[in-house]
């Protein structure tokens, strides 16, 4: 054997000197070496040709696609048997059973995984289940639409859809906003959500529940608010009546409530000028409700939590929750509802809600704004009682209860006027309390005439 992997013997009988055994003549070789060597020569010839064939395959001969041959030459199907799905592989092919069967596809022994009766039964069950699901879904959809219509009628939809300045929202319009991630306020009343409607920020108030009396007066509240258009009263944009408890959509007021600014997480510095602006604006809003609308509107629940502040600290009165309990032409209610800390004691005793009831509540709010102390109905910390007792004994003692932040930059005349106004609003005798128009005028006068002193000047005046 030579270095090129061929036997020199075969080259002697080759018709082509370049090949190792291409033209090998077995008879000639036998004659040359004798018959006893025939079998050995044959074996050597076969081995030599095998090496040549392997070398050719390794050097890149194309692989045969048996699956394609079966399709092109049906006569070869017996040679490349497949009774399933034929897949070509390198140096051969694979045959798999069809979907839903198992076995050996090359021998044709694939059998059904599921017998025909079982398949028919399964398909029947699936079909029946689908029909039941569709029927149930249609029924749920029908019931939902029926409930939506019932809620709409119960909440006064036929009346409110005729009211100007109020938009009636579909439930689907508000659904993207009524999500836990959008909650900006939460309490016993329910939740408030912040979101965008028509590219405008809004606040949606969703109450937890409502009693029968409130339910009957809901339409009245919406009608009342639709008539109130004032810069110091929050604007009601619309409502959704397609739910059990109606949802109200208001303009969004960014700084939150006065309560948050005074006592909450949003606590901020409040110079006297800002406090006068807040007090005068809230008084103007209440005066408008009492005297400048076609029908007197009583709020019934004036407190810091219901006075919202915009980016300029301008106040907006919100939450007409008590107004809904009072018919437009009446001032009495059997249900005394409101925050006890700010409630008129006469209203608490008699159930008689008047304009002076709102005046009393405003007096408590004004006192809380000036002292930055929470009004409390507890025995130990009654802000109103403490202030009135101090004022009776010594006017200056009452003024000393004011927040030191404003005492450092104010003057005695303004503080005296504010103390007198608080006392007037908190008078027990209802007839001696001022009208809100008078309260507004006095506060506006103080706001216009007030000129802040420097801190050093104010400190010296306090010391003296």
* β-strand pairing of 167-169 with 236-240: parallel
Cβ atoms of residues 275 and 454 within 8 Å: no
DSSP secondary structure of 244-269: SS-EEEEE--TT-BHHHHHHSTT---
Residue 202's closest CA among 241, 225, 229, 173?
A: 173
Closest CA to 178 of 141, 214, 207: 207
What distance in Å separates the CA atoms of residue 244 and residue 63, rounded to the nearest whole number? 74
Q: How far, CA to CA in Å, does 27 sit from each of 24, 34, 277?
A: 9, 10, 127
* C-alpha neighbours within 13 Å on the C-beta side of residue 331: 14
What CA–CA distance (Å, rounded) separates 352 from 372? 30
78 is a catalytic site residue: no
| Active-site entry in 301, 319, 344, 358 | 301
Question: By CB neighbour count within 10 A (0-12 exposed, 13-18 middle, 19+ buried), where does 239 fall?
Answer: buried
Contact 351, 414 (CB under 8 A): no
Task: Please give the positions annotated as active site.
Answer: 301
């Amino acid at each position: 054997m030579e270095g090129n992997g061929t036997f020199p013997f075969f080259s002697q009988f080759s018709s082509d000197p370049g090949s190792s055994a291409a033209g090998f003549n077995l008879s000639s070789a036998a004659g040359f070496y004798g018959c006893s060597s025939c079998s050995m020569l044959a074996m050597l010839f076969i081995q030599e040709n095998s090496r040549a064939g392997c070398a050719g395959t390794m050097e890149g001969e194309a692989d045969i696609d048996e699956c394609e041959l079966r399709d092109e030459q049906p006569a070869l199907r017996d040679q490349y048997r497949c009774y399933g799905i034929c897949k070509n592989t390198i140096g051969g092919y694979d045959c798999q059973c069809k979907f839903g069967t198992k076995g050996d596809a090359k021998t044709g022994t694939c059998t059904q995984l599921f017998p025909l009766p079982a398949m028919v039964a399964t398909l029947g069950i699936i079909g029946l289940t689908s029909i039941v699901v569709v029927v149930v879904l249609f029924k749920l959809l029908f019931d939902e639409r029926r409930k939506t219509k019932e809620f709409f009628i119960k909440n006064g939809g036929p009346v409110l859809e005729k009211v100007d300045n109020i938009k009636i929202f579909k439930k689907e319009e508000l659904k993207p906003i009524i999500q836990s991630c959008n909650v900006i306020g939460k309490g016993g009343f329910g939740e408030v959500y912040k979101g965008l409607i028509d590219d405008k920020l809004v606040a949606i108030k969703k109450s937890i529940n409502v009693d029968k009396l409130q339910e009957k007066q809901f339409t009245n509240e919406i009608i009342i608010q639709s008539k109130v258009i004032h810069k110091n009263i929050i604007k009601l944009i619309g409502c959704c009546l397609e739910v059990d408890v109606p949802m109200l959509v208001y303009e969004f007021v960014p700084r939150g409530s006065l309560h948050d600014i005074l006592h909450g997480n949003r606590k901020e510095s409040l110079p006297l000028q800002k406090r006068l602006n807040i007090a005068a604006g809230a008084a103007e809003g209440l005066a408008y409700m009492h005297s400048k609308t076609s029908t007197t509107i009583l709020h019934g629940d004036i407190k810091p939590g219901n006075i919202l502040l915009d980016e300029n600290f301008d106040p907006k009165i919100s939450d007409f929750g008590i107004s809904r309990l009072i018919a437009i032409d009446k001032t009495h209610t059997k249900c005394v509802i409101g925050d006890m800390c700010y409630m008129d004691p006469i209203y608490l005793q008699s159930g008689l809600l008047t304009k002076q009831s709102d005046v009393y509540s405003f007096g408590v709010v004004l006192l809380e704004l000036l002292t930055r102390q929470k009004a409390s109905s507890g025995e130990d910390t009654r802000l109103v009682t403490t202030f009135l007792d101090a004022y009776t004994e010594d006017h200056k003692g009452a003024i000393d209860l004011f927040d030191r932040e404003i005492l450092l930059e104010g003057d005695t005349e303004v503080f005296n006027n504010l103390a007198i106004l608080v006392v007037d609003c908190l008078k027990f005798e209802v007839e001696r309390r001022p009208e809100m128009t008078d309260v507004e005028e006095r506060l506006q006068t103080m706001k216009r005439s007030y000129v802040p002193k420097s801190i050093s000047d104010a400190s010296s005046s306090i010391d003296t």
